[in-house]
Amino acid sequence: MPGPRRRSALIARLVSEHPHSSQAAILDELRRCLLDGEVPPGTPIPLDEVAAVFGVSVIPVRESLKTLIGEGLVEHRTNAGYAVAKLTIAELREMYLVREVLETAALTAAVASADESDDARARAAHQALEDAILANDVRGYHRESRSFHLALVRSCGMQRLLKMLESAWNVTEPVRPMAHVAESERETLHLDHNEMLTAFVARDTVALLRAAGTHHGRLRSSLAGLPTDTGLFADPE
């Protein structure tokens, strides 16, 4: 006889401020939980339990999950239900390549239109990242690294490009790749961040793209060293 079903890790992360939440609020909260890195790939998403948290029927929950399937964050399998999407190692590497291409285009445009407020934003994001490293806060490092990269490209003025970059970044978030690299490796990656910030503030496009290219090369090396026996990755077809 099977034992009691374990509570999904997602349910413990969900927050509902009001009963009878709107579909938009449900979607936003589900997305937030999936992007904060605390709900691993493969985690079941039980419709009835999620609906109970929000005080709604399963219909708006199901519609929200359909949207998240389109964003690559959720998957649905017949007879298995909904779950946080898993990537294969090859797919994770592919998404990092997509991120590199989009970020390179965005950085080139951002340097040309940045002003002092963009410099201040980038410096603040860099300091938050440095604080996370000094505190050995792995979750904070993962979060603030993303914030720093996005702060550098924000001034590019191309909203569709930024949306594509964030979307590509979102797909990799549940895996939290940077949480699996050694502390010394994170420190080396942060040296690249230092160079990127210096070049950005100096409006030196060549130096910025060179530093970013070096950084993405290190990221590819980090991916090659990720453990594959954690259950976080899907088996290749």
Residue 234 belongs to a domain: no
Specify the pTM: 0.87
Tens-place pLDDT, residues 139-178: 888 889 999 999 999 999 999 999 999 999 999 999 888 8
Domain boundary among 40, 60, 84: 84
Domain boundary among 62, 84, 106: 84
Q: Do 99 and 202 belong together in one domain?
A: yes
Least confident of 2-11, 27-36, 69-78, 103-112: 2-11
Residue 187 belongs to a domain: yes
Q: Do 56 and 163 belong together in one domain?
A: no
Q: Supply the mean pLDDT for the chain.
A: 91
Least confident of 44-58, 126-140, 176-190: 176-190
pLDDT score for 8: 82
What SS3 string covers 106-140?
Answer: HHHHHHHHCCHHHHHHHHHHHHHHHHHHHCCCHHH
pLDDT score for 7: 66
Q: Do 80 and 95 belong together in one domain?
A: no
As a whole number of angstroms, the distance between CA 180 and CA 192 comes to 19
Contacts 24+ apart (CB under 8 A), 71-76: 71/31, 71/167, 71/170, 71/171, 72/167, 72/170, 72/171, 73/31, 73/34, 73/35, 73/170, 73/171, 73/174, 74/34, 74/45
What CATH code is carried by the domain that includes residue 149? 1.20.120.530
pLDDT score for 43: 93
Domain boundary among 84, 99, 119: 84
Residue 170 belongs to a domain: yes
Residue range(s) defining the domain that contains residue 41: 12-84
Please determine, for residue 6, whether its predicted confidence score (pLDDT) is greater than 70.
no
Q: Do 164 and 220 belong together in one domain?
A: yes
